[in-house]
Structures are given as C-alpha cells and as structure tokens.
Amino acid sequence: MAEKQNIEKDAGRLAVLERIKEYEKKGWWSKDVEEDPPTIPLTPDKVDYLNKKLSNRFLTWLVNVGAQRFIKNLVKDGKMIIREIKGIENYEAVDKEGVVITCNHFNPFDNFAIHYALFPYLYDHHRVLYKVIREGNYTNFPGIYGLFFRHCNTLPLSANFSTMKKFMEAVKVLLARGEKILVYAEQGMWWNYRKPRPLTVGAFKFAAENKVPVLPMFITMEDSEKIGPDGFPIQEYTLNIMPAIYPDKDKTVKENMVLLRDKNYAAWKDCYEKFYGIPLVYETEDEAFKSENVSGTENSSVAENGSSKAGGSSAMGDESSKTGAGSGAQDGSSKSAGGSSATAESSPSQEA
C-alpha cells in the first residue's frame, strides 16, 4: 500500500483525464484528447495495402514475428494482464469469413489484447489481424516505430481521395478472402475511459458495402494490485466477444451502416452495464446523449466521398504511453464507470 502512496500520478495523464471529462460534458465523443503531431499527407505511391511488393512482404513477416514476441512478453512481465476471454465461440463462428471487428478504444495497447486472444486462430491458420490506423501514424514516425506502423498489417486512412480509393479497394479484397479488420468506431483514443462512447456510422461502411458481419468486442477492466510507472493501477482486462451482427440484405448500404452501428452500440452498452453493475450514464450537457436511445453520432467517418476520418487504430502503440499510458482507473475505484488501461512503454500515437 505504501508503494501506491509514494508513486506520483503522471501530470500528463491527469491533464488528459480532465480533457476527457470536458469532452464528455460537451458531447465531443470522437474528438482526440491526445496532442498528436501534424499529419503528413499519404499519397497513393507511398502505401502498399496488399503487400504486392516482395520487400514489403518480407518486412511484414519480420515485424509480425517481433510483434508476437513483444505481446507475449507484455503478458509474461505483467505489463498487460488478461484476466479472462469471454465469448471466443462467437469468433469461432465467423473464423472462416471476412469480418470487421470493433473494440472500445481506451489504451495504446488495447489492440494487443485482441491479438493475444486470437493468436491460436490467426497465426496458426496463417492469418493476421489488419488494423485501420490514422494517416499520421503511418506517415509521421521514422525509425523502428515507423517500421512497425508501416509493416504490421496496417491500413492507413488518408485525406487524399486517390489514396482512399486505393484503401477501399484493398478492404474489399481483404474481406473477400476472409481476413479480419479491426476498426475503432469511437475514433479517438480516450485514455482511462471505461464507458462505450457513441459510435461514428462511417466505421460500419466497410461491413455494409462488402456484406460481411461486424464482430463487436468490448474490453472491461478492473484495477490490479500493481501500480504502473505513471502512478495508476495496472488493469486486468476481460475481453468480451459478442455475437456477430450481419447486414440486412433488404436494406441499402446507408441503412445497414446505421443498423450495424446501433446494434453494435446496444451490445456494448449491455456488456458494460452487466459487468460494472451500473446503468450507462453520460455526464454531458448534450441532451441528445442523455436519453436511453443513444447509439452514435452523425459523424459519418468514412463518408460516401471516401473522406478519411474512420475509426483508426495503431499497430504498435501510442505517443501517450511516453507520459505513462500504462495503467489507471479514472476515479481510483476497481470496477467503475471511470477509465483504465494496461501498462505501456514509450511508443507513438494511435487515435483515429
């Protein structure tokens, strides 16, 4: 207990938590709370989504070997604690088809928890988990982080129309051949935030257009006895995998985008309320998000014109971890509506 009292909470993380409170109050659900560097535009010639080049295939293989070892060491060293995986049968039910996976976005390493849970189903069957990431994560970082962002099965978004056309064509090919694509439908990462946020409808365009299911995953958290270097408790994760949601063949793409978003949100809300034993309530001034019928925002993310702001994730981590993105409950309780995350070492940014 003395150790908990002697570790000062990181000032940068405390500032982010205050911003989250402000954004929730104002209903800015998809707005970034981290301070990302300006984005360098991604042009079509700078990305090989389908790894057609031999050099890119080799680098992807190399980076994936390193990523597997890195993730397993996180668990071994207690820097990421996976307490339980629930509903793996729901993944098994769609193992052989293309799937869009959604997950709440609260930590730079939350996609690592998904990787860890799916290792036996992905790599043993020569599959990988593709991740939609923000443009800046792909273009901004040199060195080892840049290598991981560019070669860890990432699908970067772009403000460039031609690049986004290439992106959407690649998504179509990947889903048709049975790949799994992780999308963060909440968009920005809200560190230490446990509630499911209203979802952006554009993130469901991939599934609606390609007539594939959405597999909702929701990570719930509890404080462990360990304190991270940021002064917050390292979290114990429970990965909840819910039944797949399918587009309605009688609806249009736009109608299915809304349908998938609403059903995904309802599944997350139900999971949240059952796990934490409390109703989902937002501390917001926005009357539209005080009702029982919240499901998403009007922000279309990947809109019909191919604009780039979809639910993006990262390949390896987040710049926020440089200020201690490793742990913590927002209010210090072990099972609350606040927020939490697992411990992380220094690495670049991951918001949508």
Query: Measured on CA atoms in the order 10, 13, 15, 17, is the torsion positive or negative?
Result: negative
Place of tokens 């918001």: 351
| Cα gap 172→82, rounded to integer Å | 32
If you write DSSP's letter for every residue of 225-242 in order, what string do you get?
A: EEE-TTSSEEEEEEEEEP
Mean pLDDT check: name the lowest of 73-82, 140-149, 189-198, 263-272. 140-149
**pLDDT for the residue 136:** 67
Q: Which two tokens stand for residue 16?
A: 């982010």
* CB atoms closer than 10 angstroms to residue 53: 10
Tens of pLDDT, residue by residue over 239-271, are 999 999 999 999 999 999 999 999 999 999 999
Radius of gyration of the chain (CA): 19
**pLDDT tier at 83 (50, 70, 90 boundaries)?**
very high
> Between 278 and 335, where is the model more confident?
278
Averaging pLDDT over each range in 42-46, 143-147, 150-154, which range is the top one?
Answer: 42-46
* Prediction pTM value: 0.82
